[in-house]
């Protein structure tokens, strides 16, 4: 859908942001749909390659790529390195030149635009750790362009995630266009512009978000005279509403004002509410038609293990199955085993077919990977 919306643009490469949902079967599907991949670690690069995504279609982003990761990515022949500092570019150039290679790179710029999203998923304000300062970017681009081992081919920007409005994106893209013209006027080449991801999705029934077609129309307007290959790195808008977290009600406990519905999913399975105060709609698998107002919590021993407070929901009782919706992006990928809980399994569903695409990793397997030093006993 997102892909189709962008087909109004002339030259486009869409790299799925692997961190949103890195499951191997999901990435296989992306490969079949023709997506490249935006990766932020060597581990994600390996997944994208294992799924059959072509190395040239992979963009390596991330503020802390290690020398070992840069070398592995060079050896794999990945298509574009998004540099987050001049220092990283100098290091990459030296590593590539030493191997007789030339790395294609873009410089990630921090446009100092407020994305209007949650502070913890905002990345394009001057004080954020991402990208290089806007005013220094042209100078850096010129110096990096002169280095052997590096082919600077463009600029990259990504101002944050779960963006509800197009206006901050439009402002950031317009600023990137100005910078592109300044750099070209100084004699350096720009053939690619990477506009990142960040398009938000509705989590709450009734929320209205910009449609992919509106995003595409805005991009077409802003970039009409750019004459570049446009690159995109969407994650959430593709994966978010393709997944749910299935959970069972363990118990309903009276509270001071409203009852606590204690479910067997917790913040270790779906971290977003604890991390970003995120909302996930909660619905019973077999609704009775009755409603209740409740706090929905998991079993973990942290008060932040709370999915919702005072929420009007389908009435549920112990043993009932329910789902948290919109868990397809930044869901299982952020899961952990806190409180020695199992690592959440993943199931792919296609019409009436389904398959387990990630096993539940039980606490016993994690315990088996731990060692007691012999000097302790
Ligand atoms: C996380 C991230 C994305 C994807 O963001 P979404 O909000 O999921 O679209 C794209 N590019 C970079 C550099 C990222 O860090």
Q: Determine contact, residues 347/356, Cβ cutoff 8 Å.
A: yes
Closest approach atom of ligand 1 to CA 233: 10
Residue 294's alpha-carbon distances to 15, 112, 363, in angstroms, are: 40, 40, 30
Residues belonging to the chain = 377
Going from the Cα of 151 to the center of ligand 1, the distance in angstroms, rounded, reads: 24
The residues spanned by each domain of the chain are 2-239, 243-344
Separation CA 106–CA 194 (nearest Å): 8
pLDDT band per the 50, 70, 90 thresholds, residue 377: confident
Of all residues in the chain, the percent with pLDDT exceeding 90 is 94
pLDDT band per the 50, 70, 90 thresholds, residue 122: confident
| Spacing of C-alpha 235 from chain mean position | 5
Q: Which CATH class is domain 243-344?
A: mainly beta
98 pLDDT more than 90? yes
CATH topology for 2-239?
TIM Barrel (3.20.20)
Report the b/e string of 320-346 with b at 16+ CB within 10 A.
Answer: bebbbbbbbbbbbbbbeeeeebbbbeb
Going from the Cα of 67 to the center of ligand 1, the distance in angstroms, rounded, reads: 22
pLDDT tens per residue, range 297-351: 999 999 999 999 999 999 999 999 999 999 999 999 999 999 999 999 999 999 9
Separation CA 176–CA 184 (nearest Å): 12
Contacts 24+ apart (CB under 8 A), 225-228: 226/177, 226/180, 226/193, 228/11, 228/154, 228/180, 228/190, 228/191, 228/192, 228/193
Phi, psi of 78, deg, nearest 5: -70, 155
Separation CA 205–CA 198 (nearest Å): 20
Using the Cα atoms of residue 292, residue 294, residue 298 and residue 301 in order, give the sign of their dihedral. negative
Residues 352-356 have a mean pLDDT of 98
Nearest to 247 by CA among 320, 332, 191, 336: 320
117 pLDDT more than 90? no
Going from the Cα of 197 to the center of ligand 1, the distance in angstroms, rounded, reads: 5
Closest approach atom of ligand 1 to CA 329: 8
Residue whose CB lies within 8 A of the most ligand 1 atoms, among 59, 132, 158, 176, for a mutation test: 158
52 assigned to active site: no
Please determine whether the domains at 2-239 and 243-344 fall in the same fold group of CATH: no
Using a 6 Å CB cutoff, which residues line ligand 1? 17, 19-20, 38, 61, 158, 161, 196-199, 233-237, 329
The pTM for the full model equals 0.96
Residues 206-235 have a mean pLDDT of 96
Going from the Cα of 61 to the center of ligand 1, the distance in angstroms, rounded, reads: 9
Mean pLDDT of the chain: 97
Nearest to 292 by CA among 248, 254, 245, 246: 254
Strand, coil or helix: what is 75? Answer: helix
């Amino acid at each position: 859908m997102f892909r189709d919306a962008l087909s109004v643009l002339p030259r486009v490469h869409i790299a799925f942001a692997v961190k949103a949902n890195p499951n191997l079967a999901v990435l296989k599907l992306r490969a079949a749909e023709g997506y490249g991949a935006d990766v932020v670690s060597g581990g994600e690069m390996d997944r994208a390659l294992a799924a059959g995504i072509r190395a040239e279609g992979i963009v390596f982003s991330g503020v802390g790529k290690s020398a070992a990761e840069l070398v592995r990515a060079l050896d794999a022949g990945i298509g574009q390195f998004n540099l987050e500092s001049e220092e990283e570019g100098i290091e990459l150039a030296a590593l590539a030149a030493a191997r007789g290679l030339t790395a294609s790179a873009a410089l990630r710029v921090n446009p100092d635009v407020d994305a209007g999203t949650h502070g913890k998923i905002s990345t394009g304000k001057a004080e954020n750790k991402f990208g290089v300062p806007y005013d220094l970017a042209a100078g850096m681009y010129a110096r990096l362009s002169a280095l052997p081992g590096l082919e600077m081919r463009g600029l990259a920007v990504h101002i944050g995630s779960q963006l509800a409005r197009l206006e901050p994106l439009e402002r950031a893209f317009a600023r990137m266009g100005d910078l592109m013209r300044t750099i070209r006027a100084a004699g350096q080449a720009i053939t690619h512009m990477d506009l990142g991801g960040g398009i938000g999705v509705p989590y709450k029934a009734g929320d209205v978000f910009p449609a992919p077609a509106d995003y595409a129309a805005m991009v077409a307007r802003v970039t009409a005279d750019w004459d570049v290959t446009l690159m995109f790195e969407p994650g959430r808008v593709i994966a978010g509403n393709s997944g749910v977290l299935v959970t069972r009600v363990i118990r309903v406990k009276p509270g001071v004002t409203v009852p606590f519905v204690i479910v067997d999913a917790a913040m270790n399975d779906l971290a977003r509410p604890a991390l970003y105060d995120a909302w996930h709609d909660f619905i019973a698998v077999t609704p009775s038609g009755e409603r209740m107002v409740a706090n929905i919590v998991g079993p973990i021993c942290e008060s932040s293990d709370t999915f919702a407070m005072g929420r009007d929901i389908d009435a549920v009782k112990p043993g009932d199955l329910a789902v948290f919706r919109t868990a397809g992006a930044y869901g299982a990928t952020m899961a952990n085993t806190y409180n020695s809980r199992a690592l959440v399994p993943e199931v792919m569903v296609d019409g009436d077919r389904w398959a387990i695409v990630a096993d539940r990793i039980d606490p016993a397997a994690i315990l088996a990977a731990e060692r007691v030093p012999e000097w302790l006993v």
